[in-house]
Amino acid sequence: MASVLVVEDDQFVRSALIRHLTEAAHTVRSVGTALEALREVAHFSFDVVILDLGLPDLDGAEALKMLRGITDVPVIIATARDDETEIVRLLNDGADDYLTKPFSVEHLSARMAAVLRRSRATGDTPASPVLRVGGLSIDPLRRQAELDGARLDLTRREFDLLAFLAGRPGVVVARKELLAEVWQQSYGDDQTIDVHLSWLRRKLGETAARPRYLHTLRGVGVKLEPPSLEPPR
């Protein structure tokens, strides 16, 4: 059983989702606007959010970004849009999965089960020691990261990517492995990894042209290692 927030302005679709989820023994709350959704996640704890994109007050893509600013709850996008570029952008912006309307209740149930398994597996991970790579300090249990003593403001996916690489310092990790271990996907677009690496580099104060911690080996993979000491002048 899960606690689910349905964000859907179409009353017919909304009622059908509530009925199906309730019959499946889930606890359901529902709203019809983005602002109501933000208030809900700020005051209640949910296991998953089902988010429609065509909301009356704010586009769901913008609502997703705002949700990611206040919560790490898994979000499944429910959309009639099937443009691949937009879907990639939504996944990069923090969506955990997406469904293209119309979809069956069985399809929704399967996607929800997969997202909840991944989320709960992360939550059940035994306590891990703090990972240290140079001036980086990553605490997997508290999900906090610092660089030279300063707290890093990371999204959930950015933290997962950084922690995974920090657990293998100096080791080149193939993109396929990153997709499987960090995104739990057996296939995907390299653009997803590139975007998150770019965001991470920005927050670590580096660039792809002048890396300090994150090093990309073209055609091979990515590694994280402490910056080399500059030779004395």
Q: Is 91:98 a contact under the CB 8 Å cutoff?
A: yes
- Angle 89-211-209 (CA atoms, 0-180°, nearest 5)? 75
Residue found under tokens 């937009």: 86
pLDDT in tens, the chain (233 residues): 789 999 999 999 999 999 999 988 889 999 999 999 999 988 888 889 999 988 999 888 888 988 887 888 899 998 888 787 888 888 888 888 888 888 888 888 888 888 888 776 655 444 457 899 999 999 887 788 999 999 999 888 888 899 999 998 889 999 888 888 887 776 666 677 888 899 999 999 999 999 999 999 887 899 999 887 544 44
Peptide bond into 232 cis (omega under 30): no
The predicted pLDDT at position 93 comes to 82
3-state secondary structure of 24: coil
Q: DSSP letter at 62?
A: H
Structural domain for 149, as ranges: 131-224
Residue ending a domain, among 94, 123, 152, is 123
Q: Quote the pLDDT of residue 176.
A: 86
Q: DSSP H helical segments within 47-133, as ranges?
A: 60-68, 84-92, 105-123
Retrieve residue 103's tokens.
Answer: 């979809």
229 part of a folded domain:
no
Q: pLDDT at position 128, please?
A: 56
Based on the fold, state whether residues 82 and 135 are members of the same structural domain.
no
Q: From CA 19, how far away is CA 168, in angstroms rounded? A: 46
pLDDT score at 232? 41
The pLDDT value recorded for residue 152 is 93
Q: How buried is residue 69: exposed, middle or buried, by Cβ count under 10 Å (0-12/13-18/19+)?
A: exposed
CATH number of 108's domain: 3.40.50.2300
Q: Are residues 151 and 116 in the same domain?
A: no
Residue 200: predicted pLDDT: 93
Please check whether residues 156 and 93 belong to one and the same domain.
Answer: no
Q: Indicate whether 19 and 39 sit together in one domain.
A: yes
**The pLDDT value given to residue 146:** 94
Query: E strand or H helix at 180, and its extent?
Result: helix 175-181
Number of domains the chain contains: 2
DSSP string of 145-208?
EEETTEEP---HHHHHHHHHHHTSTTPPBPHHHHHHHTS--SS--HHHHHHHHHHHHHHTT--S
pLDDT at 143 (0 to 100): 84
79/190 same-domain check: no
- Can you tell me the distance from the alpha carbon of 231 to that of 228, in angstroms, rounded to the nearest whole number? 9
Residue 175 sits in the same domain as residue 214: yes
